[in-house]
Structure 1
Amino acid sequence: MVIEIVKEYEISMNMMFGLNYKVFGSSKTLLVVDCALGSCSAEWWHIAEELSRQYKVLLYDRAGYGHSKFSVTERNPENIVTELKQLIDYVRANEKLILIGHSQGGYNVSQYAVKYKSEVDGLILLDPATPYDGEFKNRLSAKEFKKSGVDKTELLKLQKQLAHIGIIKLFKGALKKQQPLCYYEYSKQAEKYIIQSLCNENTYQTAIDEYLCTHNDKNTLDLKNAINNAALGMTPVMLLTHSSEIYINELMKYTHIDLETANKIETVWQELMYRYKNISNNTKHITANQSGHFIHLTDLELLKTCIERMALM
């Protein structure tokens, strides 16, 4: 069940190292959120507002998203983690550090935790992108793979072109019916911020660059090795994955594939995400039975419970 935050609130974002960010609340525990591919911080504003009653929360737009500056440096996980490290060091004041990553953000915070293991007190992964996506090509037929939507490059290139010529701006009503706006009734400020980001050509170029970098073998090796060797030791990790039933229905709705193909894709997807369990010897796997891919928007109570448990560890 989504918690409604009915009051309108102003979000005054700040800029540091070219990154647009906002700190909510004050606490001995700092939660840092890294968003999905192509997403911006406004998707999480209402959640950060809710969590700030107990925790200090850092939201930010990765370079190229939202109001953060477009970066000319390669959008590989190493560079993204380095940028996030600078920002965390700037806002952190000896608080306990818990990283939360959704989808592509899950990949990023996992890489961060491996690189800066001694600084991270916990990791919460929401349907994380994995370094094993190449396996979809090996386990699906060429026709199934093309229909699956796993390879996002062609769609992102089309969206970039539409943004470049301004056509996307003409379909703001349609954007409100798409992810993530379809899952939550956002404040006017948040909705405006999200739509502006979705109409920005830089959003799609950045997403293309990030996607290609995290599907390049040279960039995935470190995380694969970390997962294979339990590199995080006893660092607490909570792996939250979607309901297969809900996700399969969403997959058929948004990609128009048949049930048999959707089931096949979902089987691979769950297996690849489940491998993250091996990144630590202290991992708990939880299925979000009420949720598809956007777990934080469709079951905030589950996320809050996981954060509460981890904060006590």
Structure 2
Amino acid sequence: MHYKIFGSKIVDIVIEMGLGACIAEWETLARELGEDHGVLVYERAGINHSGKSDKERTPTNIAKELMNLLDEIPHDEKLVIIGHSQGGLYASEFCGIYPEIVKGLILLDPLSTEDNRFKKELTAKEFKRSGVDKSKNFKVLETLTRLGMKGFVKRVMCQAPPFYYADFSEKQKEDILNSLVNTTHLRTCREEYRLAHDDAALKNMVSKENYPDIPIILVTHSSEEAIKENMEFGRNIRPFATRIEQLWQEIMKEYLGYSKRAIWIQAKKSTHYMHLTEPEIIMESVKNICS
């Protein structure tokens, strides 16, 4: 498992990244948090520089693999867990299985166990237009890579997230782009996505009814900014983009029912990559949990 620790050698913050994300994407924020903490950022098995696992890429298996990693790393008795996007699903499962070592959970635009509502409540045509399904993107990238079009992929992806939201160093940029032409990485992303929406895998997760009463800070994106992006990049009309956004916010807010100590913050200026556009929200959330 490839990982980096920023700041103190004793870890007290763990970052569970989104689907396909690399350490390079989180390096700037991790360094800032590392001024007062020990921050662990790791790449899940099969992702970028990490070797593959023989375990299925279910949320429960991924949470247990994180615990195996922590067993090898000096860490505080209580940890703050930060989960972004699909990483939020894994972070929440980790906290559900190991509440005794959790100080608090910070969820940034998290995937939830209710994400299949998109497919159930939208028609097939609407679902395709919505931009919700991320698995196809990785399949296209894998196909282009296999056809020897790595240079083309890198040129196109330079204009897409996360590059759309941040200026990375040349080294960081190279690392992220290389992951996007790595067939093991791309295949793992597709498997993670599939099993994050698999009913059997989701049923095995710690349920809302059995969830520990831990502090949870749920941070979701700006609705207006998300609607604008859906209209611009998805070429959808405002009523449809608004409908998708309302459902997305509703699904994420499922986490507010996981704990009596859950609170909700909505980012004012950010869409999905708030750790790049409004890192101060994450910094303040960490302070709130640690105070």
Q: TM-score band, normalised by the shorter chain? A: over 0.9
Counterpart of 2:199? 217
Distance in structure 2 (CA, Å) of the matches to 1:63 and 1:169: 25
Counterpart of 1:7? none
Counterpart of 1:226? 207
Measured after TM superposition, the shift of residue 85 of structure 1 is 0.5
Query: Does 1:167 pair with 2:149?
Result: yes
Counterpart of 2:21? 39
Of all paired residues, the percent bearing the same amino acid is 38
Deviates more, 1:165-174 or 1:254-263: 165-174
Counterpart of 1:8? none
Q: CA offsets, 1:208-246, max 9 Å, x none?
A: 1011111111111244x622x16121x111000000111
> Matched residue of 1:86: which SS?
helix
Deviates more, 1:207-216 or 1:64-73: 64-73
Counterpart of 2:217? 238
Which one of the candidate residues 122, 131, 148 is aligned to 2:130? 148
Is the 2:82–2:88 contact (alpha carbons within 8 Å) kept by the matching residues of 1? yes
Query: Does 1:298 pair with 2:277?
Result: yes
Measured after TM superposition, the shift of residue 118 of structure 1 is 1.0
Deviates more, 1:131-140 or 1:177-186: 131-140
Measured after TM superposition, the shift of residue 92 of structure 1 is 2.9
Which one of the candidate residues 40, 52, 76 is aligned to 1:70? 52
The alpha-carbon distance between structure 1 residues 242 and 230, as it changes in their structure 2 partners (threshold 3 A), is farther
Counterpart of 1:11? none
Measured after TM superposition, the shift of residue 58 of structure 1 is 0.3
> Matched residue of 1:194: which SS?
helix
> Matched residue of 1:91: which SS?
coil
Measured after TM superposition, the shift of residue 91 of structure 1 is 1.3
> Matched residue of 2:115: which SS?
coil
Residue segments in structure 1 that go unaligned for 5+ positions in a row: 1-18
Query: Does 1:247 pair with 2:253?
Result: no
The alpha-carbon distance between structure 1 residues 27 and 67, as it changes in their structure 2 partners (threshold 3 A), is closer
Partner AA of 1:301 in structure 2? E
Measured after TM superposition, the shift of residue 153 of structure 1 is 2.8
Measured after TM superposition, the shift of residue 48 of structure 1 is 0.9
Distance in structure 1 (CA, Å) of the matches to 2:19 and 2:113: 14
Is the 1:213–1:219 contact (alpha carbons within 8 Å) kept by the matching residues of 2? yes
Which one of the candidate residues 78, 81, 90 is aligned to 1:99? 81
The alpha-carbon distance between structure 1 residues 29 and 157, as it changes in their structure 2 partners (threshold 3 A), is closer
Distance in structure 2 (CA, Å) of the matches to 1:93 and 1:53: 16
Measured after TM superposition, the shift of residue 129 of structure 1 is 0.6
Measured after TM superposition, the shift of residue 94 of structure 1 is 3.0
Measured after TM superposition, the shift of residue 169 of structure 1 is 2.5
Measured after TM superposition, the shift of residue 172 of structure 1 is 2.4
Which one of the candidate residues 281, 284, 287 is aligned to 2:260? 281
Distance in structure 1 (CA, Å) of the matches to 2:47 and 2:234: 25
The alpha-carbon distance between structure 1 residues 28 and 310, as it changes in their structure 2 partners (threshold 3 A), is farther
Query: Does 1:127 pair with 2:109?
Result: yes
The alpha-carbon distance between structure 1 residues 144 and 55, as it changes in their structure 2 partners (threshold 3 A), is same
Q: CA offsets, 1:19-62, max 9 Å, x none?
A: 10011111776110011111111100111111110110001111
Counterpart of 1:109? 91
Distance in structure 2 (CA, Å) of the matches to 1:39 and 1:94: 25
Is the 1:29–1:311 contact (alpha carbons within 8 Å) kept by the matching residues of 2? no
Distance in structure 1 (CA, Å) of the matches to 2:263 and 2:210: 14
Distance in structure 1 (CA, Å) of the matches to 2:12 and 2:5: 10
Which one of the candidate residues 29, 32, 35 is aligned to 1:53? 35
Distance in structure 2 (CA, Å) of the matches to 1:232 and 1:246: 33
Query: Does 1:189 pair with 2:203?
Result: no
Measured after TM superposition, the shift of residue 154 of structure 1 is 2.7
Distance in structure 2 (CA, Å) of the matches to 1:251 and 1:92: 43
Deviates more, 1:174-183 or 1:279-288: 174-183
TM-score by length of 2: 0.95
Distance in structure 2 (CA, Å) of the matches to 1:279 and 1:309: 19
Measured after TM superposition, the shift of residue 191 of structure 1 is 1.0
Distance in structure 1 (CA, Å) of the matches to 2:113 and 2:148: 34
Q: How many residue pairs are counted as aligned between the two chains?
A: 291
